[in-house]
Amino acid sequence: MRTMTPSNIGSYEERLKDFSWSLSEKELGYKAGDDINIAWHCTDRVCKLGKAGKTALIWEGLGGASKSYTFNDIRLASNTIASFLQGLGIRREERVCLFMDRIPELYLGFLGVLKMGGVAQPLFSAFGDESLLVRLENAQTTAVLTTRKHAGKVRKIREKLPHLKHVIVVDDDGKKPLQTGEVAFSLEKAEPVEDFKAAATKAESPSVLHYTSGTTGQPKGVRHVHYSLISQYLTAKWVLDLQDNDIYWCTADPGWVTGTSYGIIGPWSLGVTQCVLDAGFSAEAWYQFIQKHKVTVWYSAPTAIRSLMKAGEEAVKKHDLESLRHLASVGEPLNAEAVVWSQRVFGLPFHDNYWQTETGSIMITNLPGMKIKPGSMAKPFPGITAALLDMTTFSPMTDPGKVGLIAVKPGWPAMLRGYWNNEEAFKKKFRDGWYLTGDRATLDKDGYFWFVGRDDDVINTAGHLVSPFEVESALLEHPAVAESGVVSKPDEINMEVVKAFVTLKPGNEPSEDLKLEIMNFIRKKLSPLAMPQEIEFTPLLPKTRSGKIMRRVLKAKEWGQEIGDTSTLEND
């Protein structure tokens, strides 16, 4: 039988009264004007609090490989990596990309980059060379930390990246010679650096550069600063309810913001033990992992939860999951059915929450102790002023059930400070004193938010945002493709998947083999997430008279929606 411990947050209503982020600052020992370095707070500070010998990371990989690190271990490892990067001549605020699977070096390398004052640029390891090129080129990245497995993608684009000075291979075995500009680094063989003075970064010093997809144009680099820690620490403590004796598992990859804000910074700034499983998804493997490590707090994504539902209740019954005490979910809307299911099979509901790469931390959430309405993302976190804006006038509205744009009053600590080299796009995110999320929702009479959908064409597949523009651009590079239109289509597990409508160049005939060829072309060039799950060959695409492809017409067809006004179609 589970023993329920009191939550960190206590009463939501009480926390709303006179809330101030200074509460988080005080707990972290920070005052305005002080130095603040995320990596120092996640390692050295925790050790100074007497937790040097406490387990910080339990890692499991393929084939049963496992490693464990204490907080002193991660302090030393981040010192060693930071010192190595400095020794290469990498300077403060230069971008250092982390491009590898979920191995310990990814987590420790992230801290090492921040500790020496660099800007960490984590990228999803499944990205193909084109996706990698676009992001490294835009950021003018100085160095890439990677592995033998992924070094080939970097080599393929190296000559197109004049700013890239160093490629660091963290698992080089010496069997194959490295190329010019590449250097081997082994954390296990390196001499541990006991003393390293963390960079004297300030609140507004740049920390992390995460890339997100937009409707048009290339992916945008979201600029975060070290002061984001103030939000991430307190939301991890109150929303995820992380307590000193917890064993925490965040299933998100650090290539995405959840995997850094709450897969590295949140738990370790609180001195909490976390687990990482670097293996493919299976219900059996996940439940076994929870059972083996006695996971208490589990933060996952709706796609994974729906996949667990599909695996059935018998898989749950085979395992002892009594250690679990708090479940949370993020990345896309969590279906009401999933909340009801988790309550039935785990005896606990998943607490849905809402935020974005740009917000850096949780904005709207089902807090522990709050009444859960399955399907709702509930209410704003204390200190966050969120509202729905009328989609025409952009004025706040409170009518229950009416669809509006989700907006947040600027000023929370983890808010983006800009898009890398894209001031115009950044300015468009703000209007009349509000940050515009680009998402739509409704409010009910109790002030609970209910997600409706994106206000643009960005595709949310399994919690990952995919730019239709980026996929369309890549499709046009295939020799058989003349034109393309990319939209989402509904999917039972992933919520949405990518579908491409393609017109072919003369001399090419539609075939199943050509579909597979095009799909694999995109998978290698961009990523498996961006690969169309379906391709439909068509002789014509719907366009405006100015020649712009009307994605909404294609999307309406897939979702069974009204097409709406087609008076601007060139072939209407």
Which two three-digit tokens encode residue 430?
Answer: 């703000």
> Tell me: the pLDDT tens digits for 113-125?
999 999 999 999 9
What are the two backbone dihedrals, phi and then psi, of residue 449, each rounded to the nearest 5 degrees? -90, 140
Using only the alpha carbons of the chain, give its radius of gyration: 24
pLDDT number for residue 77: 98
Query: Using N-to-C axis directions, what is the helix angle for 468-475 and 129-139, rounded to 10°?
Result: 120
Say yes or no: domain 12-440 is CATH 3.40.50.12780.
yes
CA distances from 262 to 29, 107, 332 (A): 20, 12, 16
Terminal C-alpha separation, the chain: 65
Distance CA 272, CA 257 (A): 19
Q: Whole-angstrom Cα distance, residue 445 to residue 447?
A: 6
For 190, counting Cβ atoms within 10 Å of its Cβ (0-12 exposed, 13-18 middle, 19+ buried), the class is: middle
- Give the confidence band of 547 by pLDDT, cuts at 50, 70, 90: low
pLDDT, residue 179, reads 87
Does CATH number 3.40.50.11540 belong to domain 459-559?
A: no
Global confidence as pTM = 0.88
User: Which positions ≥6 away from 365 have C-beta within 8 Å?
Assistant: 235, 239, 351, 352, 353, 354, 377, 378, 379, 380, 381
pLDDT tens for each residue of 273-311: 999 999 988 999 999 999 999 999 999 998 899 889 989
Kindly list the domain boundaries of the chain, sorted by start residue: 12-440, 459-559
Question: Which residues in 1-93 belong to E strands, given as ranges?
Answer: 55-60, 66-70
Nearest Cα to Cα of residue 151 among 119, 110, 184, 118 = 184
What type of residue sits at position 346? F
Tens digit of pLDDT for each residue in 101-115? 999 999 999 999 999
Q: For 543, which DSSP code?
A: B
The residue-averaged pLDDT of 494-509 equals 91
Nearest of 111, 386, 492, 424 to residue 264 by alpha carbon: 111
Mean pLDDT, rounded, of the chain: 92
- Give all strands (DSSP E) within 75-124, no chain letters: 95-99, 119-122
d(CA 460, CA 469): 14
User: What's the confidence (pLDDT) of residue 552?
Assistant: 79
Give the dihedral sign, CA 231/235/236/238: positive
Q: What is the spatial distance between Cα 413 and Cα 68, in angstroms, rounded to a whole number?
A: 32
Coil, strand, or helix at residue 260? Answer: helix
Question: What sections of 239-383 are H helices per DSSP?
Answer: 257-260, 266-269, 283-293, 302-311, 313-317, 336-346
Choose between 10 and 140: higher pLDDT.
Answer: 140
Cβ contacts of 169 within 8 Å, gap of 6 or more: 146, 147, 148, 151, 178, 182, 183, 184, 185
Same fold, 12-440 and 459-559: no
At residue 5, the 3 state secondary structure works out as: coil
Average pLDDT (481-508) is 90
- pLDDT category at 568 given cuts 50, 70, 90 is very low
Return the pLDDT at 28: 98
- Of 353, 339, 336, the closest CA to residue 266 belongs to 353
pLDDT in tens, 322-347: 999 999 999 888 889 899 999 999 99
Q: How far apart are CA 445 and CA 469, in angstroms?
A: 38
pLDDT in tens, 193-235: 999 999 999 999 999 999 987 666 688 999 999 999 999 999 9
63/267 Cα distance (integer angstroms): 27
DSSP codes joined into one string, 437-463:
EEEEEEE-TTS-EEEEEESSS-EEETT
pLDDT (tens digit per residue) in 146-175: 999 999 999 999 999 999 999 999 998 888
Q: pLDDT confidence of 544, banded at 50, 70, 90?
A: low
Q: 11 vs 70, which has greater pLDDT?
A: 70
- Separation between Cα atoms, residue 147 and residue 141, nearest integer Å: 17
